[in-house]
């Protein structure tokens, strides 16, 4: 019985083996070429106007950082009149993730066939990837909070000071505060425009309603027995007066006129010097207060007229301030009328 012969000839088997070997070698070469191509960005790739085609990942990151990230690390000054700090947009929170944008560009390389075609024939069109900086976590809010503390200034109301022996007026002064919202907007806009200096925004804080009691101020200097009338910080009149004796001194301090009295009655205060006097002396020629009096919020103290003209210029009263009748009438007309009269009354030792 004849044996069966193999259907494949030796030559055919050798040829097939060689063909498979060549095909396998081609696959290895193709895979190797593709791996090399996929490790580099496609030719013509541009990230935020920076050409990076043909570069590997690390080289592309370095190049883009030099053009896009580096400007974000340059100094920028934030300032007001009382605050200044040098920082960078990057530290404030204006940043961009360059490695992420390079990875996005890598994903445009396509599949193996596309990559090999691009390698042989060149890309059909360039690849553009944006890499715009954006605001995120950073020091902006903390820097503005520090600036707000440095800028903060409380308003100051108008006031008077008599420590020098005369009246010194301190005018009202507005305070100020940092407008956080407007300042943040200014910084963000300035940084995005590439400004190297940004001025923070402050707003005034009103001192409130003006104190009308400081428009007219009466100063009595007990040492020289003179009364000075100030109008908005300027002495407009001076009169001689009588003030209290050593035993009954005129009180020193800052007081207010609480009422203006025409034809006042004199009430016995019950003091030693008033023993034997009537409980009340009504208006008339025997009234020691004259025809007009200004009542202070210092207990029992008046600025009043007197018929004892010889006492003027001396420490001769029981604490009140005496004036000549005609001078009292002039002063009475010059200070505001009504209860709680806005005329401050400081008296001091001089």
Q: Which residues are catalytic?
A: 304, 320
What is the spatial distance between Cα 78 and Cα 85, in angstroms, rounded to a whole number? 5
> Around Cβ 73, how many Cβ atoms within 10 Å?
12
Q: Taken in order 37, 40, 42, 44, is the CA torsion positive or negative?
A: negative
- Contact between 251 and 318 (Cβ < 8 Å): no
Contacts 24+ apart (CB under 8 A), 307-310: 308/242
Rg of the Cα trace of the chain? 48
Calpha distance 187→143 (Å, rounded): 11
Dihedrals φ, ψ of 136, to 5°?
-145, -150
- Dump the DSSP string for 218-272: EEEETTTTEEEEEETTEEEEEEE-BEE-SSSPPPPEEEEEEEEEESPPEE----G
Coil, helix or strand for 73?
helix
């Amino acid at each position: 019985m004849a044996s069966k012969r193999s259907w494949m000839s030796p030559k055919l088997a050798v040829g097939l083996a060689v063909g498979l070997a060549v095909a396998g070698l081609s696959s290895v070469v193709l895979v190797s070429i593709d791996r090399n191509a996929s490790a580099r960005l496609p030719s013509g790739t541009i990230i935020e106007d920076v050409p990076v085609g043909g570069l590997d990942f690390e080289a592309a990151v370095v190049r883009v950082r030099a053009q896009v990230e580096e400007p974000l690390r340059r100094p920028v000054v934030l300032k007001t009149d009382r605050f200044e700090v040098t920082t960078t947009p990057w530290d404030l929170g204006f940043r961009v993730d360059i490695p992420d944008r390079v990875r996005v560009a890598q994903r445009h390389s396509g599949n193996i066939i596309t990559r090999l075609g691009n390698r042989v024939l060149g890309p059909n069109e360039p690849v553009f990837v944006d890499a715009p900086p954006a605001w995120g976590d950073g020091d902006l809010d903390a820097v503005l909070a520090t600036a707000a503390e440095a800028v903060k200034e409380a308003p100051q109301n108008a006031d008077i000071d008599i420590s020098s022996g005369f009246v010194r007026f301190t005018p009202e002064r507005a305070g100020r505060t940092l407008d956080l919202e407007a300042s943040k907007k200014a910084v963000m806009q300035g940084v995005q425009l590439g400004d190297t200096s940004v001025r923070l925004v402050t707003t005034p804080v009103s001192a409130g309603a003006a104190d009308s009691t400081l428009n007219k101020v009466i100063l009595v200097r007990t040492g020289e027995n003179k009364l000075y009338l100030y109008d908005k910080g300027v002495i407009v009149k001076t009169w001689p007066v009588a003030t209290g004796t050593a035993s009954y001194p005129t009180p020193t301090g800052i007081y207010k006129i609480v009422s203006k009295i025409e034809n006042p009655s004199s009430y016995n205060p019950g003091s030693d010097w008033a023993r034997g006097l009537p409980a009340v002396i009504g208006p008339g020629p025997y009234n020691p207060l004259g025809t007009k009096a200004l009542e202070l919020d210092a207990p029992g103290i008046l600025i009043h007229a007197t018929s004892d003209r010889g006492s003027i210029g001396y420490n001769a009263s029981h604490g009140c301030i005496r004036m000549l009748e005609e001078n009292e009438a002039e002063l009475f007309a010059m200070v505001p009328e009504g209860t709680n009269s806005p005329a401050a009354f400081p008296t001091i030792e001089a």
